[in-house]
Amino acid sequence: MKNVLMLATAATMLGGCATTSFAPPSVNLTNVMETRGSNRSIGQSCKSFEKLADSKPVPIEESVDGARSLINNFILLYRCRAHSAANGRQIFEIPSFLTAVGTITATAFGAGPNVAIAGGSAASILNGSKNYYDPKGKADIFDSSLDALICIKMEAVGIDGFSIKKIQDEAEKNSLKFQTRKNPVGVEVGPETQYFDLVSSSLLSVERILAQRLSAVGVFDPAGVVAEIKQLSDDIEEANSPAAVADAQNKAQPLALSMAEKATAARTLLEINALKPKLQSCVVRAKL
């Protein structure tokens, strides 16, 4: 019986680590990650490694490509943790099943009443643990966070990376040209930098929400979430208002571009302006 109890305890410790953890996955914020193995198996596709170029890790730069690599790093780990948490229910039920079987078998072969009492106590502890850690609840929480990350990725790829980089280059040239003036004109913060900062801060916001939900295994106030969604909807509308359009056009005007390119630049700047509330709307999905 002692061996059965030890086996049950070991199975809980080893198999249930993903479901008993109260911390979000530790995402690599410095280097690009990749999977090695078959995507047919979640176990193999979850084996992530730092991507190498010339035997060196590929760094995540503050660029369009860097932002998208960072999103993929988050999705990779959160997807794996969501799958692991989804299997947590079975992981917690197996030890109690083994304990019950071991107790019955031992009793059948003449074990005393103390064995039956010990087996019953162990099963009670394991079942109580299952309720406390609530694997199904954690699986739902991770699924919400993964949904938020996918939403962020979809919104992020909606802006043309080539246009962002071109505006960034022209903005830097323009900044150098007018750096001696007290009131420089044009784009003060490059759009590529803005893009990266918006995406990275949104990802970290999802991580923060996940940490809050895991620590309490709960949900956010529905009324507060609804109010937040409504406010963000208003913010998105304002980000596309005539005043916002005019502001984007004014920022694009000093750039050394053709008329058609300035129109594209203005549209891209407008899209980046609207990206903040759109990404925040994605972040809210982690609370649902």
Residue that wins the pLDDT comparison between 159 and 101: 159
1-17 mean pLDDT: 45
225-260: pLDDT as tens digits: 889 999 999 999 999 999 999 999 998 888 888 898
143-171 mean pLDDT: 89
45-71: pLDDT as tens digits: 677 889 999 999 999 999 999 999 999
Please check whether residue 11 is in contact with residue 94, taking contact to mean a CB–CB distance below 8 angstroms. Answer: yes
Radius of gyration of the chain (CA): 26
Instruction: Name the H helices within the chain.
Output: 2-15, 17-20, 42-45, 64-86, 88-108, 113-133, 135-156, 161-177, 191-216, 222-239, 242-252, 259-284
95-154: pLDDT as tens digits: 444 444 444 444 444 445 454 444 444 444 444 444 445 667 788 888 999 999 999 999
Q: Which one, of 85, 75, 61, 63, lies nearest residue 27 by Cα?
A: 75
Question: In the numeric block, which tokens belong to residue 123?
Answer: 């099963």
